[in-house]
């Protein structure tokens, strides 16, 4: 059973989702039952009032609090309360929270008018318990999983500055490595290309891997890399000119300026969508460039269907692997945002 509405995320019914509705319904029946029958049988018995409207609600609240502490410690309750009371209804759970909150707070006002202070206290405790029931109801995020790497029609990355790296870097000149790159590209040797001690080696492997399907390759370039873009095309060969699109087309950008990077990625996304490509056609390589580049590219890739690729850090067994991530992964670290 899946509920959807404007601005709502998919809500899949499971046992965990029922904690808040079940708590709200039980609390409602409890308040109505003892207000209509049990309390009237003991009008002057303060002890029964304390047990029914203070002790039992506090016991229930303390148990909810302990469950929250032990099972969902990752929640920021302040954020959760603000989100729920905003009434934006991002999910069915928030709808239930606001519904029961409105009912209980109206009863508190009625009890206070009638001087039924014990009922007002008990209902207030149940109202506070809604927060913990809400937290316990929100499903855990689904962590992204390493999947089978697939060639895509659209590839996005940020080109690193050219340079020799690794223990054997001093044994060859950069021109010698460039010539070896051309030879390995011509032979389609992906594994040996990754073994080259040069910052451009992973990008050549990317090209070979996606080559058969690749239609557009968007490459972000910095002001330093802009001077070397012609050399990069020379290594790839004439065939690559038709699919490579350096962004921006002139001068390059500051790879430490996050806003500037996001602006370029936004324009790339618009161009991709105008060209009719789907999210399943896109692969994003996040290992090249600065930390700001990696962050921006990772956030760009957080959507179902888009493939993320990165280079492993193993010195002896370098390889590029893929992972599929989505908004569900963000909820793993900020679960209250999915309320």
Instruction: Check if the beta carbon of residue 56 is closer than 8 Å to that of residue 125.
Output: no
* The pLDDT of residue 153: 96
| 1-6 CB contacts, 8 Å cutoff, 24+ apart | 3/91, 3/92, 5/89
Between CA 24 and CA 126 the distance in angstroms is 8
Instruction: Check if the beta carbon of residue 30 is closer than 8 Å to that of residue 107.
Output: no
Tokens standing for 102? 């409105």
254 against 17, higher pLDDT: 254
Average pLDDT over every residue of 170-193:
83
Tokens standing for 215? 């239609």
287 against 289, higher pLDDT: 287
Lowest mean pLDDT among 58-72, 108-122, 201-215: 58-72
> Is beta strand 307-311 parallel, antiparallel or unpaired with respect to 282-285?
parallel
Q: What is the DSSP string of 246-281?
A: EESSSS-B-TT-HHHHHHHHHHHHHHHHHTT--GGG
Q: What is the DSSP string of 38-71?
A: ITGGGTT-HHHHHIIIIIHHHHHHHHHHHHHHHH
Confidence class for position 64, pLDDT limits 50, 70, 90: low
- What 3-state class would DSSP assign to 247? strand
Instruction: Check if the beta carbon of residue 221 is closer than 8 Å to that of residue 260.
Output: no
Tokens standing for 279? 């999210």
Domains and CATH numbers, the chain: 2-137 (no CATH), 146-338 (3.40.50)
pLDDT at 97 over 70: yes
Lowest mean pLDDT among 6-20, 211-225, 263-277: 6-20
* The pLDDT of residue 38: 52
Instruction: Check if the beta carbon of residue 75 is closer than 8 Å to that of residue 332.
Output: no
pLDDT at 17 over 50: yes
Q: Which position has the token pair 């099972």?
A: 71
* The pLDDT of residue 56: 73
Average pLDDT over every residue of 119-133:
80
Between CA 326 and CA 330 the distance in angstroms is 7
Count the neighbouring beta carbons within 10 Å of the beta carbon of residue 175. 8
80 against 144, higher pLDDT: 80
Between CA 39 and CA 124 the distance in angstroms is 17
Residue 281, C-beta contacts closer than 8 angstroms, at least 6 positions apart: 152, 153, 154
Instruction: Check if the beta carbon of residue 49 is closer than 8 Å to that of residue 118.
Output: yes
Instruction: Assess whether the previous peptide bond of 248 is cis (omega < 30° from 0).
Output: yes
Q: Give the Cα-Cα-Cα angle 73, 77, 80 (nearest 5 degrees).
A: 120
- Whole-Å CA distances, 106 to 37, 114, 120, 126, 272: 20, 13, 10, 13, 52
Q: Is the pTM higher than 0.85?
A: no
Nearest to 33 by CA among 50, 15, 53, 47: 53
The phi, psi pair for 14, rounded to 5°, reads -155, 175
Q: Which position has the token pair 């870097």?
A: 169
pLDDT at 11 over 50: no
Average pLDDT over every residue of 210-238:
93
For the stretch 309-331, pLDDT in tens is: 999 877 677 889 888 776 666 65
Mean pLDDT taken over the chain:
78
For the stretch 222-233, pLDDT in tens is: 999 998 999 999
The phi, psi pair for 165, rounded to 5°, reads -140, 175
Average pLDDT over every residue of 270-291:
92
Instruction: Check if the beta carbon of residue 121 is closer than 8 Å to that of residue 49.
Output: no
Between CA 200 and CA 233 the distance in angstroms is 12
Where is 331: in which H helix or E strand? helix 327-333
Between CA 31 and CA 79 the distance in angstroms is 28
């Amino acid at each position: 059973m899946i509920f959807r509405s404007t601005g709502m995320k998919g809500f899949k019914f499971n046992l965990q989702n029922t904690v808040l509705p079940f708590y709200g319904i039980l609390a409602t029946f409890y308040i109505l039952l003892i207000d209509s029958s049990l309390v009237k049988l003991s009008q002057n018995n303060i002890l029964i009032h304390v047990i029914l409207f203070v002790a039992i609600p506090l016991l229930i609240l303390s148990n909810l609090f302990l469950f929250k502490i032990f099972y969902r410690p990752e929640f920021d309750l302040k954020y959760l309360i603000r989100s729920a009371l905003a009434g934006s209804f991002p999910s069915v759970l928030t709808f239930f929270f606001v519904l029961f909150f409105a009912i209980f707070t109206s009863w508190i006002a009625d009890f206070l008018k009638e001087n039924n202070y014990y009922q007002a206290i008990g209902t207030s405790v149940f109202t506070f318990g809604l927060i913990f029931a809400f937290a316990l109801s929100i499903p855990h995020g689904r962590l992204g999983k390493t999947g089978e790497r697939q060639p895509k029609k659209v590839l996005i990355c940020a080109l690193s500055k050219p340079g020799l790296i690794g223990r054997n870097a001093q044994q060859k000149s950069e021109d010698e490595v460039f010539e070896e790159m051309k030879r390995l590209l011509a032979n389609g040797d992906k594994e040996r290309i990754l073994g080259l001690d040069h910052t451009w080696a992973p990008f050549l492997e990317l090209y070979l891997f996606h080559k058969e399907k690749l239609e557009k390759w968007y490459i972000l370039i910095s002001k330093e890399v802009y001077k070397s873009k012609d050399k990069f095309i020379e290594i790839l060969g004439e065939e690559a000119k038709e699919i490579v699109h350096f962004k921006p087309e002139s001068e390059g950008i500051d790879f430490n300026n996050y806003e500037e990077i996001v602006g370029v990625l936004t324009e790339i996304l618009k161009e991709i969508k105008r060209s009719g490509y789907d999210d399943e056609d896109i692969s994003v390589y996040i290992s090249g460039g600065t930390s700001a580049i990696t962050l921006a590219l990772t956030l760009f890739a957080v959507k179902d269907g888009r493939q993320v690729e990165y280079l492993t850090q193993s010195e002896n067994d370098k390889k590029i692997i893929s992972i599929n991530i989505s908004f569900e992964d963000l909820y793993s670290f900020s679960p209250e945002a999915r309320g």
